Amino acid sequence: MKIAMISSWHVHAKDYARDLMKLPQCEIVAVWDENKEAGLKWASELNCPFIEDYDTLLQDETIDGVVINSPTIMHTELILKAARAKKHIFTEKVLAFTVADCLKIKDEIHNNRVKFTIAFPHMCSAQMLFAKQMVESGTLGDLTFARVRNAHNGSIGNWLPQSFYHKENCGGGAMIDLGAHTLYLLEWILGKATHISSTFTKVTGKEVEDNAVCVLQFQNGAIGVAETSFVSVHMPLTLEISGTKGSLMVRDGVSYANEATEGKWVAASELPASLPSPLIQWVESVTENKKPAFGIEEAISLTNLLESAYASAENNQKMIINNY
């Protein structure tokens, strides 16, 4: 499978290139970047050509797929063009800023029959898969509450790239970046969300929020809390779930209490196997016709949540999450 790397802007771009180079069925054959200097440097590191014109790159019929790591504002144009050129697409989240743009992308993906995968890595972890199994087994009862916190110290540790604070390019700050993971996990666990209320702050005075919480209401009456931050230290990814028959927590391991444990908290003794990474799932969808665990529908749903989350923060009011 011959792959072109599209932009090194995102912090995970070089990780994806490294992972692809470990796969015997994959070859990185080209680089494009909105920043010519960065693109030339990266292409040299990957020992492949830098193609300055994106349209020219897409005309190369030997290229099977593209990995999109550009500023989010560029996603829609880059992905639409790739789909029309019949290139399979892997993209960093989020897909686009608006549901309207996501739906345009969906149409082109379907019309051109290309494989699409988005980066939702936490849905692949053994701990999260165990939590999902517990929910689906009914051993926690009817779900009433879930909370996900995903945070780091990027803004106070000064290691997050300055480009991540550019509102026009990124669409927002902590919530659209780290917080995106909390939102897709909440919908995965609790189902369809109907309302959302956001509180965002700017602790370090950046253009975008670096500290954020969203409270969501779900169709079944459950409440979900999505927490994220660029100004938090020593805080691992955390998931809490409560139901009418038990509760579960993921935080450096998995523990739960339910009727079977007589209300005592116990550590999960055996976890399911992790799923392959989103990138590997994308490769296998192309080379082996396997279905990835998350695709265009999950990507659109995340953008729908985020569009409503930012509208809530900007208008300082609870928002209805619209159907599309």
Of the candidate CATH numbers 3.40.50.720, 3.20.20.140, 3.30.70.1400, 3.40.50.300, the domain formed by 2-114 belongs to 3.40.50.720
Residues of the chain with pLDDT under 50: none
Given this model, what pLDDT does residue 23 score? 98
Residue-wise pLDDT for 232-289, tens only, equals 999 889 999 999 999 999 998 999 999 999 999 999 999 999 999 999 999 999 999 9
pLDDT score for 242: 99
Report the pLDDT value the prediction gives residue 62, as an integer from 0 to 100.
98
pLDDT of amino acid 72: 98
Q: Check: pTM over 0.85? Answer yes or no.
A: yes
pLDDT in tens, 135-167: 999 999 999 999 999 999 999 999 999 999 999
Helix (H) and strand (E) counts in the chain: 10, 14
Q: Are 163 and 157 in contact (CB under 8 A)?
A: no
Any residues with CB less than 8 A from the CB of 37 and at least 6 apart, and which?
Answer: none
pLDDT for the residue 149? 99
Tokens describing residue 121: 């890595």
Domain 122-256+296-320 classified CATH 3.30.360.10? yes
Alpha helix (H) ranges present in 67-138? 75-84, 99-112, 126-137
Please tell me the predicted confidence (pLDDT) of residue 136. 98
**DSSP per position, 182-201:** HHHHHHHHH--EEEEEEEEE
pLDDT of residue 163: 94
The residues of the chain that CATH labels 3.30.360.10 are 122-256+296-320
3-state secondary structure of 135: helix
Give CATH 3.40.50.720 domain extents, the chain. 2-114
Mean pLDDT over each residue of the chain, to the nearest integer: 98
